[in-house]
Structure 1
């Protein structure tokens, strides 16, 4: 078996950067020892040995034997009721336990250790004068590792202890380390965090937990395969390890084991435990350093990737005095960082917690929205600027929430994308829009085309093309009556791969539109290769375009470029007659916005289908729509 890398606790220079240090002075040396920095190397003479026996002479004799062969770290008690607390505080590498004691016997201590996840992995060598098989069998059932007969033979003691510690070191490597990255795993992190928080409560110290989540890692796996994803995780793990090893000190302590710990919690999430941090700006500085290091270009084979992460920071005891509470706080902060901006960090706060609870409640409601028939499509007309005739409509999703009323997509689509609910929502929108258009056509109310929005998450799903075909077939609708709108950023993300998906959609006769154009970055070499029919200029560029020279220049260039590529141009968010006049002057093909109509329910929209030419709304009506 390959030896796993040493963990972060052995790699930090604790004498550097005293200006950001915290000195934990006045701690009784033997009162609360810390976990051995080398959990995987407990077979060394640095292992901590705990002895529990009701006879002083037995403990003195055993310790003398072991000191003679080089062991130096001991914890002992003759008071068996104290043993359990000492185990929690000292966390020895091995326990030598007398079986027969007057107050609490070895069986009881063994039983309590097995019931405690933080103690059950400590190996126990029983010391007993009893030679009967029943006693040994009962001890083995309760978790004993080995036996030593009293009176103890020194040579046998040394041999059994060495073998027990060697086995523990091997098991710790398997149990406490992540095989992919070589970092500490979730179990070891939780174990160390639990211990550190108890230390914090006892001595009034503080600390921080940083929860790190990579941005869009699932997209890397989907686009490049899990093999590349694994290589990315290993490379990021190494960067994290090196950035912390070379970082400024975050705490300074006379306690030997109170050290940072970097772990992989699973998937694309990592955590950092920073004991001894009393200033939030120190934790913030470490978080920013991690963001900067992760964001550096990453070469995997011939691929150059740019990976970012978001970090949530929780402080203890300020944000919690229990392991699960602190971890939850860091997780809440990380999720809010992801919502706010990629490549950022956030500190936990009560306000974030309240928002997180609201988000959880909204997620629960959203999961039931389809089955409760709370979703609805509203339709906004797309108008030909030369004729004022309706040439299409965009289907816009709304949620009729039983408590909150009409909820717009900006409030729940990001949540749907984060939770995977975007796929059933997208399928519902596609099927509903196609069926509604077929209903209007059957009633003699002709509408040339209906447009639906496809999110970046939907676009990356392999089932999208088949879903479009199924929706058209289910509604018995000709493909030329459907337009799929995809944002500029979505199609430019991994543009080469997206061309084949767009070609598949286009081959069935469905029209394609680039939505929100002008808000992202598009390569002209790709634009001319995309099989698109329409370009929609984002509303942020249309607002006051008649008076804003910069926006006017951009819109003019976009219309000219689109026409040179033989694309229709649609202006979004037209609300004022001067904007409309400007767009007509430039030859813009179509527009949609409150100047013609706000989004309407299917019933109200049906009335518009009877109108030959749409009138302009009065400015006051448009502004208030």
Structure 2
């Protein structure tokens, strides 16, 4: 029936009327206008003929036996092929109710008796043409809807005067919008867009209207079931006769498959197919970027060139398949090793990821951005050698392999990609020639420094077992009475050959090697034990401040360490104060806040050390659970000479007191500084003016004096 107007030579009409004379007159009128005609004398016969012949035009009398015209019309419209035929109902001249009902049951038009036979043929031809047009329009809409469905495409429009929004059912289905409750609004339309991209899309639409230009923007949407899709949204402005923007029309399309294809193409172009690491092309691009960033920010970075020792022998002996398996396993070890060690080698605020790449064969490179010092690169190189130098199971075949690494450092060892790569390669060959399974810097002097650094790390690992650490204590004074109210516990290392090693010489080594966690535990235990000793000796309970390393603070299990020490020593938690710096607060904020809250739950106080030297000190006071603010010594030392220092100190004290925090000044060295801080209302202080850090035995003698 869909295309019968093209297959029939003449249109087919069905006349249904119980009056034979009327049927003959109707038939004659339609024949003159080139219709083929079928006749039915009652409603049921008319319905049977319709289902069998599927006519294009139907003339129905309202009053007929067995089924009246209304019933026949309603039945036709409900049938499979009843959508398109044109139905003309015949009613009485003054039968208004019948006319209204005719339209309700699906009639296209009506004609009143007596009938104008000449006009009947014209009306039939006109209705037939309208029916064909309606059918073609519906089919066109159906094809468009199906095409949009197949193309995952929908359309939308905004009236720029009334701001009314409308989107097609295809667009609603594509974005999985709920259209059952109310019309879809622009907010509904944008709701599935992920995160900050929503504001970007709104801005793109606004900018397109203001600039009178087309719009094209892509973004991600998140469906309620967690599925994520990529959408391309394109819009065009329509203007009225005065050239003013009148409407914005647009289409949305699901381009997720295209996006995945693009990502796969990019991956094939820039990543090694065997190991999944960056390939040579991507490595060179990242190396150029590292050079530009380091030059702009006055930073250093290291390039590590790694080559497997005796890999060719494994390849030749066991075959290339086994060699490929080995390369994949080595690449996995490298990635795991870099993830574990890289954070210790770079600045706290550096968030760039190291680039690990496979250049060719068994050659790999690693870019370590913004390193603290060349020795930091040596830390990574040493651990890589340790992790890689092990046995590998290659389909049941056990093989061993080691690695040699060359290191070049920007800018000392070169300021272009070619020179840095060549020098790292040269250093790697020096490592191979020196016995393999080791690393070498391009500059020999750095090898000496690295050797000394690892000698220090080796001795540091033995220091706890050999009881080489000691705690010194610096008194904290109540400024109003000059009485000792607390002490800061400070670690010292009594090296058997080098003598006393200050913290600034070994703490960073302990952090990079992971030994800092054990050292923090030792400091906590010794400080709490000593506090207990003083209480047992009859001295008033003191607040002992423990300055813990902030290295990976939220991952040190600090809370568990404090809890264990408190259980062992039975010390009142209120007598322990954990000092943190603003550097700690800048790390992984949510995890850090949670760790600090758990420390507070134990009853331990928290002090913010070096206050005023960080990036956003004020926000920390309301965000983090801090009890004590320690004014950094840099402000105190210059307070008598610089007016701005005094202004800052007064502001810190006033602000801290308004928030209910205790204020302690560090680094007081003169009588004048002491009087100034006292005048400003500072609560407590410490510094060489009162006493330098001293061993526990000497601190006991200070406690006997009571005041300084």
Scaled by the length of structure 1, what TM-score is found?
Answer: 0.52
1:375 is aligned, of 469, 490, 500, to 469
What corresponds to 2:326 in structure 1? 175
What corresponds to 1:316 in structure 2? 426
C-alpha deviation, 1:313, in angstroms: 6.6
Which has the higher Rg, Structure 1 or Structure 2?
2
Change (3 A) 1:283 1:397: same
SS in 2 for 1:382: strand
SS in 2 for 1:460: helix
Change (3 A) 1:579 1:329: farther
SS in 2 for 1:320: helix
Change (3 A) 1:8 1:595: same
Change (3 A) 1:460 1:274: closer
State the distance in 1 between where 2:340 and 2:640 align. Answer: 39
What corresponds to 1:191 in structure 2? none
SS in 2 for 1:119: helix
- Cα deviation 1:489-512 (Å, max 9, x = unaligned): 112322222111111111121111
8 Å contact kept, 2:490–2:546: yes
- Cα deviation 1:84-110 (Å, max 9, x = unaligned): xxxxxxxxxxxxxxxxxxxxxxxxxxx
Change (3 A) 1:287 1:548: farther
C-alpha deviation, 1:317, in angstroms: 6.5
What corresponds to 2:701 in structure 1? 607
8 Å contact kept, 1:367–1:421: yes
Change (3 A) 1:561 1:492: farther
SS in 2 for 1:284: coil
8 Å contact kept, 2:550–2:584: yes
State the distance in 2 between where 1:259 and 1:462 align. Answer: 36
Change (3 A) 1:508 1:324: same
8 Å contact kept, 1:546–1:552: yes
State the distance in 2 between where 1:358 and 1:523 align. Answer: 37
Change (3 A) 1:289 1:391: farther
C-alpha deviation, 1:602, in angstroms: 0.7
1:504 is aligned, of 578, 591, 598, to 598
Q: Which runs of 5+ in 1 are unaligned?
A: 18-115, 124-142, 146-166, 188-211, 224-231, 245-256, 291-311, 334-346, 615-625
C-alpha deviation, 1:591, in angstroms: 0.7
C-alpha deviation, 1:394, in angstroms: 0.6
User: How is 1:331-350 mapped onto 2 (pairs within 5 angstroms)?
Assistant: 348-350=443-445
What corresponds to 1:285 in structure 2? 416
What corresponds to 1:495 in structure 2? 589
State the distance in 2 between where 1:377 and 1:12 align. Answer: 48
State the distance in 2 between where 1:397 and 1:359 align. Answer: 20
1:514 is aligned, of 595, 608, 626, to 608
Change (3 A) 1:274 1:570: closer
What corresponds to 1:575 in structure 2? 669
8 Å contact kept, 1:8–1:261: no
Q: Which runs of 5+ in 2 are unaligned?
A: 1-267, 289-308, 368-379, 386-402
C-alpha deviation, 1:554, in angstroms: 2.7
State the distance in 2 between where 1:12 and 1:422 align. Answer: 34
Bigger relative CO (Cα 8 Å, ≥ 6 apart): 1
User: How is 1:532-611 mapped onto 2 (pairs within 5 angstroms)?
Assistant: 532-611=626-705
8 Å contact kept, 2:548–2:579: yes
Change (3 A) 1:173 1:535: same
8 Å contact kept, 1:314–1:329: no
Change (3 A) 1:386 1:213: same
State the distance in 1 between where 2:617 and 2:487 align. Answer: 28
User: How is 1:430-441 mapped onto 2 (pairs within 5 angstroms)?
Assistant: 430-441=524-535
State the distance in 2 between where 1:568 and 1:497 align. Answer: 25
Change (3 A) 1:329 1:180: closer
State the distance in 2 between where 1:584 and 1:555 align. Answer: 12
What is the alpha-carbon root mean square deviation over aligned residues? 4.6
1:427 is aligned, of 507, 521, 533, to 521
User: How is 1:132-171 mapped onto 2 (pairs within 5 angstroms)?
Assistant: 143=317, 168=320, 170-171=321-322
C-alpha deviation, 1:367, in angstroms: 1.8
